[in-house]
Amino acid sequence: MAISKSLQASVLISLLVFHLTVAEEIMTTNDAESHFVQAIDCGAACTARCQLSSRQKLCKRACGTCCARCNCVPPGTSGNQEVCPCYYTMTTHGGRRKCP
């Protein structure tokens, strides 16, 4: 009876150590993958996007907020929303499109 209890305890400890090792490996892998996502230069992207706007300060402020949340800005001065769906679908409290 004493041997089976010690065997059960050692199996339980082995499983616990195995579980912790796998969990740490998963955390390390997720950290490494998150570093591959490159942040874009929102200032430069929004300056290019808003260059033809009649209200450049307002355009750059809205564009900067959208860029920070979505990490993308569609190319050109207008349109091209299919390139960045997150940017295009963001709306204000009034239901209007937020991003220029």
Kindly report, residue by residue over 8-33, the tens digit of the pLDDT: 777 777 766 767 677 677 766 655 45
The first and second tokens of residue 58, run together, are: 């307002």
Angle, in degrees to the nearest 10, between helices 42-49 and 56-70: 130
Q: Which residue, among 73, 80, 64, 67, has the nearest Cα to 56 in the 3D structure? A: 64
- If asked whether residues 53 and 68 sit together in one domain, one would say yes
Total domains, the chain? 2
Give per-residue pLDDT as tens, 48-96. Answer: 999 999 999 999 999 999 999 999 999 998 888 889 999 889 999 999 9
- If asked whether residues 30 and 55 sit together in one domain, one would say no
- If asked whether residues 5 and 26 sit together in one domain, one would say yes
For residues 65 and 28, the answer to whether their CB atoms sit within 8 Å is: no
What is the extent of the structural domain holding 81?
42-89
The pTM of the full predicted model, rounded to 2 decimals, is 0.60
Per-residue model confidence (pLDDT) at position 59: 95
Distance CA 4, CA 18 (A): 21
Per-residue model confidence (pLDDT) at position 25: 73
- If asked whether residues 18 and 46 sit together in one domain, one would say no
